[in-house]
């Protein structure tokens, strides 16, 4: 872990420690200029750039990137970007075992998890594999200064969601609980400052540090209803990832509140509120994040199917998954009414 403003300058040293001579730099199309700049800076240590990462890692795109990595004899993958770029690097590493250096530019947290996802025929499949866990992460808050405000807030809510569900994880322990509470405190504390001043480096540093902790919780313990809902809504209804997290989280926490009192107490401490679900709703809404599935373009007619999908395969959740209660949760999230 390399953390701190300006720490991208340590990338050549990290490549050197690997003995890497042919790094393939990955990014989304929107980040291609930065990726190409990085290739230039790395000089002889870079083999090329693949700047076509897409959300949810479509299999065809992963195949193209795998082919390019093999053709260039890449011996290291540098993922410069958010969860989509890290996800692409993971898809390559899953097959080839090529090590990943992640340089995250959002708060998604994928860089510290062994979780990968691949989408084929509109269906996203996820799994865990030690080969996809990045070997090095370079956290440079300067790279997040231009993250658009709306994405900064929704990505921060995405991070908080990992830690919030970690608080009631079945396989949690006192250490992950401490980590999760501190993670939420950090990210939630940074968002108002970012909203007031998006280029505030201290707030960006705090948010990125919190995102590291949140991602660590995600990578360590199992998630529950909230992540299942977001997975369903993103995967089957093509809704944007971080925005969906921001909208659904308060409602998922409300659903589980009575069944997870210890987690709710920790959340209340972290958010400094006796009504954590409402506090999450206010945190997103007052800082410009979307707060209804309707405004994300979801059709009311799809709510029944979403409830069906999210209740279909049994999975652990502090409160049992009841289809009709999940349908009600989705109705509230669709309308954007405050929880409770
Ligand atoms: P993203 O990576 O798709 O990025 C969103 C957009 O923001 C892109 O257009 C990107 O180019 C742009 N962007 C990123 N950083 C920027 C910056 N600093 N400045 C300006 N623009 C920037 O979004 P995300 O929310 O980070 O990732 C979402 C994906 O990550 C989803 O597919 C999700 O499933 C996955 N994810 C996976 C894990 C895991 O552990 N495997 C964890 C979290 C998220």
Q: Indicate the pLDDT class of residue 121, thresholds 50, 70 and 90.
A: confident
Nearest CA to ligand 1 atom 36: 83
Confidence (pLDDT) at 210: 98
Contact 79, 23 (CB under 8 A): no
Contact 256, 321 (CB under 8 A): no
pLDDT at 144 over 90: yes
Mutate to test the pocket of ligand 1, among 27, 130, 147, 151 (most ligand atoms within 8 A of CB): 151
Q: Indicate the pLDDT class of residue 122, thresholds 50, 70 and 90.
A: confident
Confidence (pLDDT) at 123: 78
User: Ligand 1: distance of its center to the CA of 41 in Å?
Assistant: 24
User: Ligand 1: distance of its center to the CA of 82 in Å?
Assistant: 3
User: Which pLDDT tens digit goes with each residue over 183-240?
Assistant: 999 999 999 999 999 999 999 999 999 999 999 999 999 999 999 999 999 888 989 9
pLDDT above 90 covers a percentage of the chain that reads 93
Q: Is the pTM of this model over 0.95?
A: yes
Mean pLDDT of 169-183: 98
Confidence (pLDDT) at 108: 97
Confidence (pLDDT) at 96: 97
37-67 in b/e form (b: 16+ CB < 10 A) is ebbeebeebbbbbbbebbbbbbeebbeebbe
User: Ligand 1: distance of its center to the CA of 72 in Å?
Assistant: 25
Q: Is the CB of 204 under 6 A from ligand 1?
A: no
Residue 237's CB is within 10 A of a number of other CB atoms, namely 18
Q: Is the CB of 119 under 6 A from ligand 1?
A: no
Mutate to test the pocket of ligand 1, among 82, 165, 249 (most ligand atoms within 8 A of CB): 82
Residue 328: C-alpha distances to residues 37, 276, 290, 306 (Å): 49, 19, 19, 11
Q: Indicate the pLDDT class of residue 124, thresholds 50, 70 and 90.
A: confident
Mean pLDDT of 22-35: 97
Residue 29: C-alpha distances to residues 35, 80, 122 (Å): 9, 11, 21
Give the whole-angstrom CA distance, residue 229 versus residue 302.
Answer: 13
> Please, what's the largest Cα pairwise distance for the chain?
59
User: Ligand 1: distance of its center to the CA of 229 in Å?
Assistant: 18
Mutate to test the pocket of ligand 1, among 53, 83, 103 (most ligand atoms within 8 A of CB): 83
Confidence (pLDDT) at 251: 98
Residue 219 alpha carbon, nearest atom of ligand 1: 40
Q: Is the CB of 144 under 6 A from ligand 1?
A: yes
User: Which pLDDT tens digit goes with each residue over 287-331?
Assistant: 999 999 999 999 999 999 999 999 988 789 999 999 999 999 999
Contact 234, 117 (CB under 8 A): no
Residue 249's CB is within 10 A of a number of other CB atoms, namely 26
Three-state SS for the chain is CEECCCHHHHHHHHHHHHCCCCEEEECCHHHHHHHHHHHHHHHHHEEEEECCCCCCCEHHHHHHHHHHHHHCCCCEEEEEECHHHHHHHHHHHHHHCCCEEEEECCCCCHHHCCEEEEEECCEEEEEECHHHCCCEEEECHHHHCCCCHHHHHHHHHHHHHHHHHHHCCCCCCHHHHHHHHHHHHHHHHHHHHHHHCCCCHHHHHHHHHHHHHHHHHHHHCCCCHHHHHHHHHHHHHCCCHHHHHHHHHHHHHHHHHHHCHHHHHHHHHHHCCCCHHHHHHHHHHHCCCCCCCCCCCCCHHHHHHHHHHHHHCCCCCCCCCCHHHHHHHHHHHHHCCCCC
Q: Is the CB of 146 under 6 A from ligand 1?
A: yes
What backbone phi and psi angles, to 5 degrees, belong to 239? -90, 150
Q: Indicate the pLDDT class of residue 7, thresholds 50, 70 and 90.
A: very high
Q: Is the CB of 85 under 6 A from ligand 1?
A: yes
């Amino acid at each position: 872990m390399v953390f701190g403003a300006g720490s991208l300058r340590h990338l050549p040293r990290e490549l050197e420690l690997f003995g890497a001579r042919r790094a393939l730099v990955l990014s989304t199309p929107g980040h291609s200029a930065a990726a190409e700049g990085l290739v230039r800076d790395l000089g002889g240590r870079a083999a090329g750039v693949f700047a076509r990462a897409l959300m949810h890692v479509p299999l065809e795109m992963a195949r193209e990137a795998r082919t390019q990595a093999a053709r260039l004899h890449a011996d290291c993958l540098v993922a410069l970007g958010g969860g989509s770029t890290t996800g692409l690097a993971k898809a390559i590493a899953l097959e080839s075992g090529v090590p990943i250096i992640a340089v995250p530019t959002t708060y998604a947290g994928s860089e510290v998890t062994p979780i990968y996802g691949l989408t084929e025929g509109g269906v996203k499949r996820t799994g865990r594999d030690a080969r996809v866990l990045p070997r090095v992460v370079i956290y440079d808050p300067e790279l997040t200064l231009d993250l658009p405000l709306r994405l900064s807030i929704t990505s921060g809510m995405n991070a908080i969601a990992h830690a919030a569900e970690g608080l009631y994880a079945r396989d949690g322990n006192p250490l992950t609980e401490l980590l999760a509470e501190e993670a939420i405190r950090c990210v939630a504390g940074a968002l108002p400052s970012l909203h007031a001043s998006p280029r505030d480096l201290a707030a960006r540093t705090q948010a990125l540090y919190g995102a590291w902790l949140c991602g660590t919780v995600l990578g360590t313990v199992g998630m529950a209803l909230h992540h299942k809902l977001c997975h369903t809504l993103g995967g089957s209804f093509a809704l944007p990832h971080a925005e969906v997290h921001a909208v659904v989280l308060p409602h998922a926490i409300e659903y589980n509140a009575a069944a997870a009192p210890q987690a709710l107490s920790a959340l209340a401490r972290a958010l400094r509120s006796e009504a954590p679900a409402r506090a999450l709703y206010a945190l997103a809404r007052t800082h410009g994040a979307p707060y209804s599935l309707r405004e994300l373009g979801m059709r009311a007619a799809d709510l029944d199917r979403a409830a069906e999908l999210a209740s279909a395969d049994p999975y652990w959740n502090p409160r049992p998954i009841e289809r009709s209660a999940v349908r009600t949760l989705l109705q509230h999230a669709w309308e954007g009414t405050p929880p409770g």
